[in-house]
Structure 1
Amino acid sequence: MSIPSSLTHFAASVSILLSTAPVAMADTVHLKNGDSLSGRLISYEGDVCVFSASYGTGLNIPGPDIASLQTDHDYEVRFKNGELASGRLMSNGATLTLLTSTTFGEVEVRMTEIQALTRSFVEERNPEAEDVPAEYGERTEQPPLDFLVGSTVLLGPGEYEFDMGLVYKQSRRQHNLFDVGYFQKSSYSARVIQFEPTLRAGLFDRLEGHLAVPFTYTSVEDVSSNEYVSTTGAWDLADIGFGVQYQWLDETSAHPALSFTFDIGAPTGRKRYNDAANRWKDPLNNGSGHWNVAPGIAWVRSTDPAILFGGLSYQHFFKSTIDGYAVKPGWALRSYLGAGFALNEKLSIGARFSYSYSANLKADRQIIKGTDIDPADLAFNLSYRLRDDWVVSPQIMLGLNDDAGPASMSLNLKRQFN
């Protein structure tokens, strides 16, 4: 399979952008295994460093695993021999920690010699500057991390968000009909607009739930020539989806964050198995026609300056009667891998590769050969914080094989409530 040159140029541009992306978070931990983590230092005491990753989870990092530490604020440093010093920690070459203070200047410190770090809040305050807004580029809030939705729990108890998603995809093919007229065409086109409002909520500590109620408008045109044109279109409710995600393990220096997912699909959409004469109406289908469940596992790993994520799920469909046939779709195994970057407090970008395999379906207990599919696609998304609680996220999804279908564009507008 060849990749179009335009896609190659696009991927190259994204790579250049990612390689030069600034890190939005302030503090940095360099580990002895070569990994680097960007985030916020919460505490350091008794050879245990508690560090907040870019997506808000707390990591417990053993002190002996840390090669160097860099902070953007002053800390009081208490050494194991009882001495005290104050200043800012700087990392030199990711293997050496320097303490910069007004009293001692710049001195080298070993992480194994530190007993505790305490943030210094003694700063001169300028009353006239209290109402001055933050400078551009100064961190005021967590960056939007929409590329992690579904890969980890992002909402705490009592927090919820409403996501208004809009997706557009189009498929078209045509060829000339010189035998019936020089300008005559045979063409087939299908356009789908999907509105997918989704509610996500933090149910309990480490537990998040979601409910999606999508609607679609589909228009189809089948042209044999100017004399034979068939068109149809319809608004329909698609399959309603809901589920939960449980954060099982927080990320540490030894393993990524792990969470369990469980999704349920309800057959509220349209599903028909059209005969040969009406096969051109197939795009009107916007549902599976079957109840289905999908347990899975997802992981997230921070490695400066990127956040890596992925997931694997198994989808099981239940038998149903459609158009007089007892139909049971084959099981499906779905997987994805991705990477995201928080560029600053307002902007993040992400990319995801997805691959799945669906086995052959059964009709009246007979396996229908050739109905298995294995779509693969590549998605790029950008998230921008419009205001404190509003985030807009455009996305482009490219099908990498015939089973993946046409490319699609989507736009999500999300409002968070606390």
Structure 2
Amino acid sequence: MLSPLKLLGSISVIFFYLYDTPPALADNLLLKNGDRLSGSIISFSDGLCIFDTHYGSAVRVPTTDILAIGSNTPYTLLFASGEKATGQLKATTDNRTLLESATFGTTPVDVSQIVSLARFRPSGPLMQENTKAGASDHRYGEDQPAQPPLDFLTGSTVLLPPGEHELDLGLAYKQSRIQYGLPQAGHFQRSSYSARQLELRPTLRTGLQRHLEAYLSLPLTYSHVQDISGNEFVRKADAWRLADIALGVQYQIVEEDADTPAIALSLDINIPTGQKRYNDVFNSWKDPLNNGSGHWSLTPGIAFVRSTDPAILFGGVGYQYSFARTLDGYHIKPGWVLKGYAGVGFALNERLSLGGRLSYAYSANLRADHQTIHGSDADPLELSFSAAYRLSEDWVVSPEISLGLNDEAGPAALSTHFKRRFN
């Protein structure tokens, strides 16, 4: 898995060499082949340690190759069991690792069970005294456990460790309008048709265990449609409704290393709680009030993530199967959908990241009353751009714009996500 700590490590190496005075050598690694490394742990997460020796580029060490760790810097440790501890790691003469913690005392730890290390930043009176003393060698972000917000990777890999949760408050808006003049009815009169939709999509994601996370999304929409044939004839309709509930799981089967990308499998389920009407010709102007598919569906998928400094490449494919259902007196069987996407993202620093994605899907013809409706297939093409900014240690804001590149992709959409992580 491509971890935020790994990317922060790559960026931090560049900043370390921009300063005249390098940080003190505080960390030591003993490898299983007998090698010893002295320097600084930049990141330690999900099977990969990025270690700065100050003699060149950072060294990438698989955590499975590490026998023991020693440091005079306090770290917060996350174990594979989901437990956390804070303290200093000490390497013994018999190549064991001890954790010296105010809570647990001196305890031996198994390095192979450590999922991640984050440099501990103290708070309270002690931190205030150090600030007043004025440590001139303190650099912005050096001791912060903050990680780059990699929101553009959501859905492409597992981002949450065990026991951590994320609440995503998404807000999206899209609209379309067709308008032309009516000279025969008066110079100022217009004929127009407009549709608008505002969607609030709260989503809860949770890390179930290492390499496994799940999500549940409960969207609510406000839809408004207005059909104007002139001042003498105006009709409109609007509605607040619950849209389709979505839930799913994602499991990372391959961790990224020097030769292979991170690979994750996913399964998404759509529950038809939204409205879906097949209106007759006289009421077809109300079609934009639909905010659901009307059908249960399953979508298995596979996605990859690959880091190629300074960029992160990601993409995936999925196959959606929808179940038949009787709606408005018709027996409807939607066509299968094959969809894929590819994108690139950049973590500019520990607070800001940018991403772009190109998405394509092909939807086969639907069947109505057991008859194939030719020409009902579609292949929307969409391009989206997003940014993510860390407001604080727990909150991230992520605006996004999606542009339909053909008629079947629909109008442009603006969205903003406010995300908060908690244990």
Matched residue pairs, number? 342
Q: Counterpart in 1 of 2:46?
A: 57
CA 1:41–1:375: 2 relative to 1, 3 Å: farther
Which residue of 78, 81, 90 maps to 2:56? 90
Deviation of the 1:346 alpha carbon: 0.8
8 Å Cα contact 1:212-1:240 kept in structure 2: yes
Describe the shift of the 1:302–1:44 C-alpha distance in structure 2 as closer, same or farther (beyond 3 A): farther
1:367 lines up with 2:372 in the alignment: yes
Q: Distance in 2 between matches of 1:263 and 1:116?
A: 37
- Comparing 131-140 with 212-221, greater Cα deviation is found at 131-140
Distance, in Å, in 2 between the alignment partners of 1:53 and 1:257 is: 20
Find the residue that maps to 2:331 and give its secondary structure: strand
Q: Which residue identity does 1:129 align to in structure 2?
A: N
- Equivalent residue for 2:12, pick from 26, 35, 44: 26
Change (3 A) 1:222 1:255: same
Quick one: structure 1 residues 229 and 56, their matched pair in 2 at CA, closer, same or farther if it must change by over 3 Å?
Answer: farther
Which residue is equivalent to 1:101?
A: none
User: What's the TM-score once normalised by structure 2's chain length?
Assistant: 0.74
Name the counterpart of 2:130. 129
Aligned equivalent of 1:348, options 353, 358, 366: 353
Which stretches in structure 2 are left out of the alignment for 5+ residues?
1-7, 15-26, 74-125
Structure 2 contact 29–66 (Cα < 8 Å) conserved = no
Alignment TM-score, normalising by the size of structure 1: 0.75
Q: Matched residues, percent identical?
A: 54
Gaps spanning 5+ residues in structure 1: where?
1-21, 29-39, 61-69, 75-87, 98-110
Contact 1:53 1:302 in 2 (8 A): no
1:175 aligns with 2:161: no
Q: Partner residue of 1:313?
A: 318
Query: How far off its partner does 1:26 sit?
Result: 2.5
1:380-409: CA deviations, max 9, x gaps? 111011111111000011111111000000
For 1:46, give the aligned amino acid: N
1:210 match: 215
Q: Offset at 1:46? A: 2.9
Tell me the residue number matched to 1:396: 401
CA-to-aligned-CA distance 1:311-344 (integer Å, 9 cap, x gap): 1000000000000000010000110101111111
Preserved contact between residue 269 and residue 288 of structure 1 (Cα < 8 Å)? yes
Structure 1 residues 343 and 43: CA distance shift in structure 2, 3 A = farther
> Whole-Å Cα distance in 2 between the matches of residues 49 and 353 of structure 1?
45
- After the TM superposition, which parts of structure 1 deviate over 6 Å for at least 4 consecutive aligned residues? 40-43, 47-50, 52-55, 115-120, 130-134
Output aligned runs, 1:17-416, within 5 Å. 25-27=11-13, 45-46=32-33, 56-59=45-48, 72=52, 74=53, 88-91=54-57, 121=71, 129=130, 135-136=139-140, 138=142, 140=144, 141-416=146-421
Q: Distance in 1 between matches of 2:192 and 2:28?
A: 60
Kept in 2: contact 1:23–1:344 (CA 8 A): no
Residue 310 of structure 1 deviates from its aligned partner by 0.5
1:118: how far off? 8.3
RMSD between aligned alpha carbons?
3.3
